Amino acid sequence: MIKHTDSYYADSAPITDEYPALEDNIECDICIIGGGFSGLSSAIHLAEKGFKVVVLESAQIGFGATGRNGGQIVNSYSRDVADIEKRYDPKTATALCNMIFEGGDIIRHLIEKYNINCDIKQGGLFTAFNQKQLDGLYEHAKNWQRYGNNQLSMLNKNELVDAVGTNAYVGGLLDKSAGHMHPLKLALGEAKAVTQLGGRIFEQSAAVRIEKGTNPIAHTERGSVKAKYLVLAGNAYLGGLAPKISNKAVPCGTQIVTTEALNAEQLKTVLTSDYCVEDCNYLLDYYRLTADKRLLFGGGVVYGARDPNNIEQFLRPKIEKVFPQLAGINIDYKWTGNFLLTYSRMPQFGRFDDNIYYLQGYSGHGVTCTHLAGKLLAEVLTGDAERFDAFASLKHPAFPGGRHLQIPFSAIGAVYYNIRDKLSI
């Protein structure tokens, strides 16, 4: 039995619902492979429209990036508005940018509609180490305001000291439409919603083979699901199930630690605003307080999803640089999680053989975009393909160097950006 990685999330989430393994040959309207946010959002939106839905999860619900991420509700995609408008034609760019705040709204809607207790808090900060990054945040705010986000405000250094409790930054951007929550609790609540809507979930049921045809079939070791449509939502954990799409992205690992609970004195100077934070470096760090007042801190990228030898050794200096008042604090949890990086830094949504759909490649912005993906999938399968096709029309080149060299080439690029961050050029 494959269980959740040893993490703060797994220890603090009430996993009261366990789903059976598939041990039969069944049929449904739509079979979804992957029990993370992409699959769960798809299942909810489709079940709400009356489809008979089956979700196949290889381990436990939220096992992958869904149950291991920083828990931050960050708007938009890994590419910002300015890049999107330069890269794509005006019609496509406008369609994409009109959706950049929708994922967070969907999350809040699901939490309210299905009464999901996941420790949600409002407000997120982007922080700048230097004037160049701060100038970028001013431009970022202007672009977001053009697409309807009126919950933005710039903060100076003193205001950031009050909100975050550090002198590390010269300024920042507050987005009150952002926020943070316990991602595994959210996933478990969404899974319960799927079953309340009549959907079926099978854990420990990895899809090992896809049989294409008029009614595609997903085969597991001890059963199968025959459906009208098949949805591939395994993201970085899809493996070699669909080489046609897996060679267009590379799995990457990020590292997270969670400290012991902060005491009353520490809480006077650490994240008094209770906002989540991410900095503006290319290889960014991100952090927030948990519901029980621990500091959850993540950062760095390991290309190829290899676990670092010592996560604490890697992240502790970063924590103590931002919060010197926490020097020597105990680290209670440390873990890694994989996400899928695309060369374009845009998510990959599409279809092949007319009845097999895929949702993947969120490039570090998966919490909100996965929820948008599920809604768009429900739209296209009920006859409204316009918004889904805005994503499906995007060209996704493979990484330079081909399948065997894409990870080393990506790592070289990361070294360059790390040096650029440090030199502030």
Q: Tens digits of per-residue pLDDT, 322-372?
A: 999 999 999 999 999 888 999 899 999 999 999 999 999 999 899 999 999
Asked whether residue 218 carries a pLDDT value surpassing 60, the answer given is: yes
322 within some domain = no
2 within some domain = yes
- What is the C-alpha radius of gyration for the chain, rounded to an integer number of angstroms? 21
310 within some domain = no
Q: What is the mean pLDDT of the chain?
A: 92
Give the count of beta carbons closer than 10 Å to the beta carbon of residue 375: 22
Q: What is the DSSP letter of 188?
A: H
> How would residue 282 be classed by pLDDT, with cut points 50, 70 and 90?
confident
Q: How far is CA 295 from CA 61, 311, 316, in A?
A: 25, 15, 12
Asked whether residue 411 carries a pLDDT value surpassing 80, the answer given is: no
Provide the percentage of residues in the chain whose pLDDT is more than 70: 92
318 within some domain = no
- CATH number where 86 lies: 3.50.50.60
167 within some domain = no
> How would residue 250 be classed by pLDDT, with cut points 50, 70 and 90?
confident
385 within some domain = yes
> How would residue 58 be classed by pLDDT, with cut points 50, 70 and 90?
very high
**SS3 label, residue 403:** helix
290 within some domain = no
181-200 tens-digit pLDDT: 999 999 999 999 999 999 99
pTM exceeding the 0.75 threshold for the entire prediction:
yes
The half-sphere exposure of 214 on its side-chain side, counting CA atoms within 13 A, is 0
Give the count of beta carbons closer than 10 Å to the beta carbon of residue 147: 16
Which range marks the domain in which residue 27 is found? Answer: 1-119+181-248+347-394
Nearest to 281 by CA among 135, 412, 128: 128
8 within some domain = yes
Identity of residue 281: N
Instruction: Say how many domains are in the chain.
Output: 1
Asked whether residue 412 carries a pLDDT value surpassing 60, the answer given is: no
Weakest mean pLDDT among 45-54, 228-237, 299-308 = 299-308
> How would residue 400 be classed by pLDDT, with cut points 50, 70 and 90?
low
